[in-house]
Amino acid sequence: QKEVEQNSGPLSVPEGAIASLNCTYSDRGSQSFFWYRQYSGKSPELIMFIYSNGDKEDGRFTAQLNKASQYVSLLIRDSQPSDSATYLCAVNSGTYKYIFGTGTRLKVLA
């Protein structure tokens, strides 16, 4: 059974701090990794994707991938209250299916 695991949280960080969200996956054949943000009552929104080992930066967001250790993380710099949401990690192993984690709830405290 291919799995994607995330800590459900809530992860609370003060405004302006760095929020660090982590995700581990079980399938070593996984090739593509995605981070989605989901506000309460809304659908998920793609914020980052990463395919290669290392870091990928986009604005305040940095995705980090370590295939040897089978984890992918998302860093949010200068966290804002508007970043408060559930963050979903998704993994694709080259098939048509994506495996989603259950999400980490982030609270940014003003």
Partner 1 sequence: GAVVSQHPSWVICKSGTSVKIECRSLDFQATTMFWYRQFPKQSLMLMATSNEGSKATYEQGVEKDKFLINHASLTLSTLTVTSAHPEDSSFYICSARRTSGISSSYEQYFGPGTRLTVT
Contact residues toward partner 1 (CB under 8 A) are 31-32, 34, 36, 41-46, 49, 51, 88, 90, 92, 94, 96-98, 100-103
CB 57 within 8 A of CB 49: no
From CA 76, how far away is CA 92, in angstroms rounded?
Answer: 23
| Shortest reach from residue 17's CB to partner 1, in Å | 26
* Closest CB 29 distance from partner 1, rounded Å: 12
Cα Rg of the chain, angstroms? 13
Question: Alpha-carbon distance 51 to 101, whole Å?
Answer: 17
Residue closer to partner 1 by CB (options 17, 61) is 61
Could you give the CA distance from residue 23 to residue 110 in angstroms, rounded to a whole number? 26
Q: What letter would DSSP give residue 82?
A: G
Report in angstroms how near the CB of residue 101 gets to partner 1 at its nearest.
Answer: 8
Looking at the Cβ atoms of 53 and 78, the one nearer to partner 1 is 53
Q: For residues 22 and 32, which CB has a smaller minimum distance to partner 1 in the complex?
A: 32
